[in-house]
Amino acid sequence: MLSMLRSNLYRLVKTRLTWVYVIVCGLIICWDPLVWFFTASSPASYGDPLNPTMTAVQMYGKALGSGVLFLASVYCAVFFAADFETKSIKNVLQAKGGRVSYALAAVATVLVVQVGAIVAGSVVATVVYQALGFAIAESSAVDLALLFCQFLLVSTAYSLIAVLLAFATGNETLATVVTLAVSSGLLESFLRVGLANVFADFPPLRDCLDGYLAVQMNLLSKGTVSDAGGFAAAAATCAVALGLCVLVMKKRELAK
């Protein structure tokens, strides 16, 4: 597993896809404060230094929820589907237990990508907002920790679903398209509307769907952390997706 993880991390650094992702995410994070800076009378209208209207939690929520972590799941789908498209995965899985090791290495790689995206996105947001003169009120360490923790859970859940799709389909285009539908919240919105009457008599299931990943990401983008149920739903999704990734890799037939 460790050798596979090292190989994945080497690819992360070397592939052009990574640098395209980094540049696009940097532009996304900078877009909102730059537009506000050049269209508002002054950056102080966004946050008065004497009476700040935006907290650090809101700033990081806006930056990370703007599409940075959504694109990370698409990145993961493309990254792992490429192994199947190029047939290179057959060489990786030669050793005994190679399939499980590959799946676990993929999960570890997802965590590296998500933590890196959160840390880098937060640093870029801090630098940009401060450089443009925005006044940001401090948030407590607990509030920030809860925000980053839920961002990590939700984004990891989406990325593990993306990896599962890559494993199941082995097709870069199909995995990417379905990941876009899932991570954007489009599929979840359809399910929420379509199953509203079905779950009407089952409050726990209805509440779960009403506060699932897309809803959580929307709240996080506004700097609002959901309740314990939201954390539990995201963590459960991560666990189920992880198990399915291992199962699919163990059972999947590889094309010659």
Query: Where does the pLDDT of residue 74 fall: very low under 50, low under 70, confident under 90, or very high at 90 and above?
Result: very high
Domain count, the chain: 1
The verdict on residue 69 lying in a domain is: yes
Q: Please, is 177 exposed, middle or buried when counting C-beta atoms within 10 Å of its C-beta (0-12, 13-18, 19+)?
A: middle
Query: Where does the pLDDT of residue 197 fall: very low under 50, low under 70, confident under 90, or very high at 90 and above?
Result: low
What's the predicted TM-score (pTM) here?
Answer: 0.87
pLDDT > 90: percent of the chain: 42
Mean of pLDDT over the chain: 84
**What is the extent of the structural domain holding 99?**
2-251
- pLDDT confidence of residue 50: 44
Which ranges of 195-227 would DSSP assign to H, the alpha helix? 203-210, 213-220
The verdict on residue 256 lying in a domain is: no
